[in-house]
Amino acid sequence: MSRFGATILDADGLRLTAEEKALFRDTNPFGFILFARNIDTPDQIRALCGDFREAVGRDAPITIDQEGGRVQRLRGPVWREWLPPLEFVQRAGEAAAEAMYLRFRLIAHELHALGIDSNCAPMVDVPGPATHEFLYNRCYGTAADQIIRMGQAASDGMLAGGVLPVIKHIPGHGRATADSHFELPRVAAPLDDLKAVDFAPFRALRDTPMGMTAHVVFEAVDDAPATLSPAMMKVIREDIGFDNLIMTDDISMKALSGSLTDLTRASLDAGCDVVLHCNAPLAERATVAAAAGEMSDAAQSRAERALGYRNAPDDVDIPALDAQLKALLGGAAYG
């Protein structure tokens, strides 16, 4: 297998430009990610996914953020409009784990039909009283043990539907009181508290094929955000035990400061396997791809292992699953 570029990149619009095709052909990104600007019709999405894979000459993974609630790129009327995860879990009550499995099995069905074979979920951050509102209703509960059950159900549903889950945000974004899209959150909790609560879902779900970092400073470990911290990456690999593929959260987010070249190299040097870079001009994507270069031996091994989780969807009756989910939630499965 050829060596992958250590990046996950995006596209400007509904189809690739000639310049994007040339960049992707020359730098061979590990995979790609879709946003709302890339979404129009099912046929258009399938064609765009074909563009990506043709550019690199292989069946590259294509991911998306389809959590439900505020964070879902596929929307009605063509696709299901999902309730926010926290509201969904609360409505499901004692049937929440079954409902969460069905939710993500149906999401996987919609994604796989379009050529999308990965999803940036489950999000197993543990919220607290001061959790920033950008994150709170995206959570799967309010306690670590509940979130573990929901996260496992979500992951199982996606894998059954032929979609690779990406667990986020390692090692936990729940205590953050700032939105990392706009500023760098800092968490001052003692390490023992972090291990007992925040890290627990990631430790329990450490076999998830891929994970995404948190742009959060954990002062008990390091003064650098987790994405850029060798000390925190050691905690993730050794204490949490996550030895599968780790991608950064988007390095263009304002939580991180510095040049794209420096951020790319720092994240890879810290121990991330692949750099996610989004929502930027082509020249910036080229800068990141050049700085990232090819995956290390360890990253390539993890990438190949992650891709090994891709399977054809199981043979299920999708309308029956949809009816089952609606019954569990009293007909209120969608927003």
| Tens digit of each residue's pLDDT (9 = 90 or more) over 189-229 | 999 999 999 999 999 999 999 999 999 999 999 999 999 99
For the cut 90, the answer to whether the pLDDT of residue 2 exceeds it is: no
Q: Could you give phi then psi for residue 275, rounded to 5 degrees?
A: -105, 125
Reported confidence tier of residue 48, pLDDT bands at 50, 70, 90: very high
Q: What is the pLDDT of residue 151?
A: 98
* Span 55-80, pLDDT tens digits: 999 999 999 999 999 999 999 999 99
- Of the candidates 51, 249, 250, 273, the residue annotated as catalytic is 249
Per-residue pLDDT tens over the stretch 148-190? 999 999 999 999 999 999 999 999 999 998 889 999 999 999 9
Mean pLDDT of 36-64: 98
Task: Check if 277 is active-site.
Answer: no
* Cβ within 8 Å of residue 223, ≥6 positions away: 217
- Split at pLDDT 50, 70, 90, the class of 130 is confident
Residue 27: its pLDDT value, please? Answer: 98
pLDDT-derived band at 335, boundaries 50, 70, 90: low
pLDDT of residue 40: 98
pLDDT score at 333: 67
pLDDT in tens, 255-292: 999 999 999 999 999 999 999 999 999 999 999 999 99
Could you tell me the domains of the chain? 5-328 (3.20.20.300)
pLDDT of residue 105 exceeding 90, the answer is yes
Q: Is 52 helix (H, G, I), strand (E, B) or coil?
A: helix
- Residue 74 and residue 36 in contact, taking contact as beta carbons nearer than 8 Å: no
Per residue in 298-316, pLDDT (tens digit) is 999 999 999 999 999 999 9
For residues 33-48, give the mean pLDDT. 98
pLDDT in tens, 75-103: 999 999 999 999 999 999 999 999 999 99
d(CA 331, CA 335): 11
Q: Which residue has the tokens 């995956």?
A: 295
Q: Which of 12, 132, 179, 181 is catalytic?
A: 181
Find the mean pLDDT for residues 6-13: 98
User: What is the side-by-side strand order in the sheet with 164-170?
Assistant: 118-119, 164-170, 210-213, 245-247
What letter represents residue 167's amino acid?
A: I
Task: Give which of 91, 78, 123 is closest to 104, Cα–Cα.
Answer: 123
Read off the pLDDT band of 45 (50, 70, 90): very high
